[in-house]
Amino acid sequence: MPQVLTEQDGHVLTVTLNRPARRNALTISSLSRLADIWSEAAADTSVRVVVLTGAEGSFCAGMDLRGMAGEDGDEDAAAAERAKTDRGFANRGLLKTGRMNKPVIAAVEGNAIAGGMELLLGTDIRVAGEGARFGLSEVRWALYPAGGGVVRLSRQIPYPVAVDIMLTGRHIDTTEAAQLGLIGHIVPDGKSLETARQIAATIAANGPLAVEAVVRTLRETAAMSEEEAFAFEQPHIAAVFGSEDAQEGPRAFAEKRTPVFHGR
């Protein structure tokens, strides 16, 4: 059974973690596949938005600790061999490095814990079922949140709360997560994917070059001064305004019709 599933509907690609018996816990094999999916989606002009979710009511419970401990692993030989020569693919799979040039929307049901939380922190828009829970609990098992969680959580929510979550290993519910700004939408359980896809469809209907330019600027300028960030965005601004889509948008507005964008 594939550990990661993909399905494209129009310009929206849905990526589903598919190990429900283990609450979609990650393996080297699934991280290898995720790394390839992100790379392929970034290069595919037909994909404008990605939705990331988990199968059967759970987002992702992190790395498969039972597998790490030697219990009935779910790895394939190709992934193990890849790990010898491509040490960076796990971080790319977790969206710690090599982040895409397109928005990623998380649809969370159940647990987004440890590596699952780190995957979440690499996404852009987050929708969660009201019963979802979040946390970086690695220290409880004498492990380190190596998928970007230490750096990102403390930048995305207030520092004292981030430290509390990471050092106690406690889990938080959707109410607290929303109050902290960790997630943007709370929906009834079982509705996160539907809502995420609705948001994705809205984004996919917008000018793809403009969306990509906004995403690139947001990601690349986070650590820059305002002056540096303004300089960084100038070529992106020029490219967007010089595109055919930038002519189509105002024309469609004037003609009171829906614009048709081609990404050029």
- Concatenated DSSP letters for 60-91? B--B-HHHHTTSS----HHHHHHHHH-TTHHH
Q: 147 is written with which tokens?
A: 């998928």
The pLDDT, as a whole number, for residue 148 is 97
Q: 130 is written with which tokens?
A: 């009201």
Looking at the structure, tell me whether residues 130 and 166 fall in a common domain: yes
Any domain includes 263 = no
The pLDDT, as a whole number, for residue 78 is 79
Is 118 a known active-site residue? yes
**In the chain, which stretches have pLDDT less than 50?**
none
Looking at the structure, tell me whether residues 8 and 85 fall in a common domain: yes
Catalytic residue among 56, 109, 138, 233: 138
The pLDDT, as a whole number, for residue 65 is 76
Output DSSP code: residue 237: H
The reported pTM is 0.95
Looking at the structure, tell me whether residues 191 and 213 fall in a common domain: no
The torsion region of residue 97 among left (phi > 0), alpha (psi -120 to 50) and beta comes to beta
CATH number where 196 lies: 3.90.226.10
Helix (H, G, I), strand (E, B) or coil at 134: strand
What stretch of H or E contains 128?
strand 125-129
Final residue of a structural domain among 204, 224, 242: 204
Any domain includes 160 = yes
Looking at the structure, tell me whether residues 175 and 219 fall in a common domain: no
Q: Domain containing 223: what range?
A: 208-254
Looking at the structure, tell me whether residues 144 and 241 fall in a common domain: no
The residue among 6, 9, 127 whose CA lies nearest residue 59 is 127
CATH number where 231 lies: 1.10.12
Catalytic residue among 7, 56, 71, 118: 118
Domains of the chain: total: 2
Looking at the structure, tell me whether residues 197 and 217 fall in a common domain: no
Is 138 a known active-site residue? yes
The residue among 194, 42, 174 whose CA lies nearest residue 120 is 174
The pLDDT, as a whole number, for residue 79 is 76
Looking at the structure, tell me whether residues 140 and 21 fall in a common domain: yes
Looking at the structure, tell me whether residues 119 and 238 fall in a common domain: no
Any domain includes 177 = yes
| Residues 6+ away with beta carbon under 8 Å from 7 | 13, 14, 16
pLDDT in tens, 179-230: 999 999 999 999 999 999 999 999 999 999 999 999 999 999 999 999 999 9
The pLDDT, as a whole number, for residue 187 is 98
- 183/70 Cα distance (integer angstroms): 34
